[in-house]
Structure 1
Amino acid sequence: MSAAEILEGAARDILLLCDHASNAVPADIDLGIDPALLDKHIAIDIGAAAVTRALAARLGCPAILATVSRLVIDLHREPDHVGLIPHRSDGHLIPGNETVDKAARIARFHAPYHRVLRESIRAQRPRLILSIHSFTPCLEHGGTDRPWQVGVLYNRDVRAARPTVAFLEGRGFVTGDNEPYSGRLLNATLNRHAEGQGIPSAAIEIRNDLIREDAGVEEWAGVLADLAGHLRP
């Protein structure tokens, strides 16, 4: 299994990333869970891959999508992050991860994925990176309702994030500014490959009930295509 799927595109000024695009678990890895959990947000950002593909098609730009579930390894975490290979997620135990060889799993999935990102950016430096994610309207265990339709996450570099928040609010969306959680705490991929390289970026978090169906995917791909046009230097 390749760690990343690359969609080619001629418009190289924008690069799309989707760290949680897949719920795939390799056949030789047993997570010890009910397979039904693989359809939940703990395993995959529901709708994010579809939005990324549709947006890449509209913009004619490249995209890089992860090919393994975050229950196997979370590609959007630093290698030393406590949640890199989760033992529990939103109240669900992942017993197959209790005795995992962490270094081997990093070498098999995490390192190759980030190598693809690094090499792609070095080969054709984009002027903007957008990372596409989705969030659940409410966590199953101990969560409260999340009122935002979309969130914009960022760390220190606000060059793309601040205009993105303003754009989405201007379109009438209930927009979270570093919500439903802060990009100052969870922004590993963009910290490394965008902010760390001086490239403007933003992580777009769409509430997943809005993009579960094709109509919602197309609507949000259109919104984000307009956003990209607004942000393009």
Structure 2
Amino acid sequence: MSAAEILEGSAQNVLLLCDHASNAVPADIDLGIDPALLDLHIAIDIGAAAVTRALAQKLDAPAILATVSRLVIDLHREPDHIGLIPHRSDGHLIPGNESVDKPARIARFHAPYHRLLRDRIRAQRPRLILSIHSFTPCLEHGGTDRPWQVGVLYNRDTRAAHPTVQFFESRGYVTGDNEPYSGRLLNATLNRHAEGQGIPSVAIEIRNDLIRDAAGVEEWAGVLAELARHLTSDEV
């Protein structure tokens, strides 16, 4: 299994990332779970890969999509994060991860993925990095309703984030400013590859019931294409 799927594009001012694009589990890894769980948000950001692909096509921009489920290893976590290889996710036990060889799994999936991102970003030097995610309207266990249609996540660098919040709000979207969770706590990929390289970036979280079908994917890809053009224009 390759570290990621790369979509090429001629527009080099933007790079798209999708850390939770896949629910794939290699044949030699047994998570010990009901396979039906792989279709839930705990295994994959539902709709995020489809939006990323459609957006890449609209912008003619390159994109990097992860090829392994976050139940195997969460590529959007630091190597020392407690949730890197989850033992439990939204109330579901993942027994196959209880006795995992953590360094081996990092070396097999996490390290090559982030090397690939590092090398691509150094070579391309985009003006903007957009990371595409999705969130569930409500967690299965202990969650409350999440009213936002889209969330804008960021850490310290607000150059792209603040204009993005304004962009969505001006178009009438119910927008989460560092919601449904804070990019100051969970922003591993962009902290390392965008902020760490001085490149403006933002993580976009779309509520997954809005992008479960082709019409929703097309709508949101169009919205994000407009956003990307706005953020890379001289107006911002």
What are the ranges of 5 or more consecutive residues in structure 1 without an aligned counterpart? none
CA RMSD of aligned residues (A): 0.4
Q: CA deviation at 1:124?
A: 1.1
Q: CA deviation at 1:102?
A: 0.2
2:18 matched to 1:40?
A: no
Secondary structure at the aligned position of 2:22 is classed as coil
> 1:111-162 CA deviation, whole Å, 9 max, x = no partner?
0000110010111110100000000000000000000000000000000000
Q: Which residue of structure 2 lines up, in the alignment, with residue 165 of structure 1?
A: 165
2:4 matched to 1:4?
A: yes
Amino acid at match of 2:64: I
Runs of 4+ in structure 1 off by over 2 angstroms are none
Q: Which residue of structure 1 lines up, in the alignment, with residue 100 of structure 2?
A: 100
Q: Which residue of structure 2 lines up, in the alignment, with residue 232 of structure 1?
A: 232
2:143 matched to 1:137?
A: no
Secondary structure at the aligned position of 1:111 is classed as helix
Q: Which residue of structure 2 lines up, in the alignment, with residue 117 of structure 1?
A: 117
Secondary structure at the aligned position of 1:133 is classed as strand
Q: Which residue of structure 2 lines up, in the alignment, with residue 174 of structure 1?
A: 174
Secondary structure at the aligned position of 2:109 is classed as helix
Q: Which residue of structure 1 lines up, in the alignment, with residue 74 of structure 2?
A: 74
Q: CA deviation at 1:110?
A: 0.1
Amino acid at match of 1:51: V
Q: Which residue of structure 2 lines up, in the alignment, with residue 201 of structure 1?
A: 201
Q: Which residue of structure 2 lines up, in the alignment, with residue 156 of structure 1?
A: 156
> 1:68-91 CA deviation, whole Å, 9 max, x = no partner?
000000000000000000000000
Amino acid at match of 2:7: L
- Within 1, Cα distance between the matches of 2:20 and 2:56? 16
**Aligned residue pairs, count:** 233
Q: CA deviation at 1:3?
A: 1.2
Secondary structure at the aligned position of 2:52 is classed as helix
Amino acid at match of 2:204: I
Q: Which residue of structure 2 lines up, in the alignment, with residue 147 of structure 1?
A: 147
Secondary structure at the aligned position of 2:112 is classed as helix
- Within 2, Cα distance between the matches of 1:115 and 1:146? 34
Q: CA deviation at 1:57?
A: 0.1
Within 5 Å, give how 1:42-57 maps onto structure 2. 42-57=42-57
- Within 2, Cα distance between the matches of 1:143 and 1:3? 32
- Within 1, Cα distance between the matches of 2:12 and 2:111? 24
TM-score relative to the length of structure 2:
0.98
Q: CA deviation at 1:190?
A: 0.1
Q: CA deviation at 1:183?
A: 0.1
Secondary structure at the aligned position of 1:6 is classed as strand
- Within 2, Cα distance between the matches of 1:214 and 1:74? 26
Q: CA deviation at 1:19?
A: 0.1
- Within 2, Cα distance between the matches of 1:181 and 1:67? 24
Secondary structure at the aligned position of 1:15 is classed as strand
Amino acid at match of 1:121: I
